[in-house]
Each structure stands twice: as structure tokens, then as C-alpha cells.
């Protein structure tokens, strides 16, 4: 299991990371929200431990952006135990709050509980023509080819297209589904994500036959 710890307090971050490593988790560390988001997108951790008060991008906004892109569980750390902070964090998608100071035993118990709750429920395979998506494994299979692993963002994109297979989906709708309202208007980021998916499902990504561009509209998953 991979856990991302985002906290600008170097000493506390080190203690949290040490406790998690001693429990057998692989730990990634970031000192602010922006670096945390970059690590999150690149490494796709299983859980995020996120401080509220940080420079550059605070924990609330970092949590909002993570939740717009993923269902990965988020635990927020705060020195403030006010109901307002907890309500705000939960409304933004946080799964749990831990008030400083806390013991390593309490941290680990809460981490284990979040990871248990995050275990994927069985969902049926979604099929669109030759494309079959496995939500539990985050995998895609095209025809008789071997299954290929997708990142959560790639899976969200392909799942949305598969649900409308054979019909074009507007770029704005796709971006909003993948990233939330933050993604609206960012066509370049959407284009990059589409390219990554094409490299995994197309025999020749330069001449896409499955995930095609619909000029002036967006993209479509072709049903063969």
C-alpha cells in the first residue's frame, strides 16, 4: 500500500512517515499542496494524509482537487478541532479528520480503517464493442488482447466514453467528469489524457480507430 503524506511541518511529517513505514506502508512525502498534487497524479497513492494549514495551497483546496479527480481516501490533520473546519473538510470530500497531537497508534488505526472502507466493491464489467472495462481492477481489455492497467483518471475518462459508446461526448463534459469543475476549459490537459489512453488501447495511437476525435465536439469511443 502506498500513502502520500502532505505537510509543511518537516518534523511532524517525518514522524507520520516513520510510523507508517514501520507498519509496512510505502510512504511518499510532500511539503505543500502543489507538490502533493503533482505526486498524487504521478504516483496514484492508496491514501492521502493531508495537513490543513500549508503554504502555497492549503489542505482544503488540495483535498477538493484530489476529490475532483479520484475517490482515494483522504485523512486531514489539523491543530484546530472546531466543528466548522471538520464540516468544511468533509463537505470537500475528506474521509476523516485527526486533531493534533495524536499518537502513532491512533494514526495507524484510522489509516487501516480508511483503507478497509476503500476496498472496491464488486462492480460488473462494462463492455462497449471490443472494449471491456473492469472497475475493480482498473483494467481495460480490447478484444483478445491482454488486460492493461489504467490510472484512476484514465479509467474515469474511458468509462464515461464507454457509457456513451458510438456517440460523441463534448470536451467540456469529459473534463468536468474527470477533474470536476476545475477541469472545464483545460483542453490541453484533456488532450494529454486522451493520448495516454490511446497508447494503452490503440494498436496505432497515431491513427486512432477506437478513441476518436470528433472535430468541433470532443471525443467518442467507436463500437466496432
Q: Are 209 and 222 in contact (CB under 8 A)?
A: yes
Would you mind telling me the total number of residues written for the chain in this entry?
A: 224
Place of cell 486533531: 99
β partners of residue 59: none
Contacts of residue 59, Cβ cutoff 8 Å, sequence gap at least 6: 6, 33, 50, 51, 52, 53, 76, 77, 78, 89
* Statement: the pTM of the whole predicted model exceeds 0.75: no
CATH superfamily of the 2-117 domain: Response regulator (3.40.50.2300)
Per-domain residue ranges of the chain:
2-117, 126-221
Class for the domain spanning 126-221:
mainly alpha
Q: Tell me: the pLDDT tens digits for 84-111?
A: 777 788 888 888 888 888 999 999 999 9
pLDDT for the residue numbered 181: 52
pLDDT exceeds cutoff 90 at 68: no
Q: Tell me: the pLDDT tens digits for 134-191?
A: 987 889 999 988 999 988 778 889 988 998 899 999 998 888 777 765 555 668 889 9
From the list 121, 156, 118, the residue with the least C-alpha distance to 140 is 156
Amino acid at each position: 500500500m502506498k500513502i502520500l503524506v502532505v505537510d509543511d511541518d518537516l518534523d511532524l511529517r517525518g514522524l507520520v512517515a516513520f510510523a507508517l513505514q514501520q507498519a509496512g506502508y510505502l510512504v511518499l512525502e510532500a511539503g505543500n499542496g502543489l507538490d502533493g498534487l503533482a505526486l498524487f497524479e504521478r504516483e496514484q497513492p492508496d491514501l492521502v494524509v493531508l495537513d490543513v494549514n500549508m503554504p502555497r495551497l492549503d489542505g482544503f483546496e488540495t483535498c477538493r482537487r484530489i476529490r475532483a479527480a479520484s475517490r482515494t481516501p483522504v485523512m486531514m490533520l489539523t491543530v484546530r478541532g472546531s466543528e466548522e473546519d471538520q464540516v468544511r473538510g468533509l463537505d470537500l470530500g475528506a474521509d476523516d479528520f485527526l486533531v493534533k497531537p495524536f499518537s502513532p497508534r491512533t494514526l495507524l488505526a484510522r489509516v487501516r480503517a480508511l483503507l478497509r472502507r476503500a476496498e472496491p466493491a464488486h462492480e460488473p464489467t462494462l463492455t462497449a464493442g471490443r472494449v471491456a472495462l473492469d472497475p475493480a481492477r482498473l483494467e481495460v481489455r480490447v478484444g483478445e488482447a491482454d488486460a492493461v492497467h489504467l490510472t484512476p483518471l484514465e479509467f474515469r475518462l474511458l468509462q464515461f466514453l464507454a457509457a456513451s459508446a458510438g456517440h460523441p461526448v463534448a470536451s467540456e463534459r469529459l473534463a468536468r467528469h474527470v477533474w470536476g469543475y476545475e477541469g472545464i476549459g483545460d483542453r490541453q490537459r484533456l488532450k494529454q489524457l486522451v493520448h495516454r489512453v490511446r497508447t494503452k488501447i490503440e494498436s496505432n495511437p497515431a491513427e486512432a480507430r477506437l478513441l476518436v476525435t470528433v472535430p468541433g465536439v470532443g471525443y467518442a469511443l467507436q463500437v466496432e
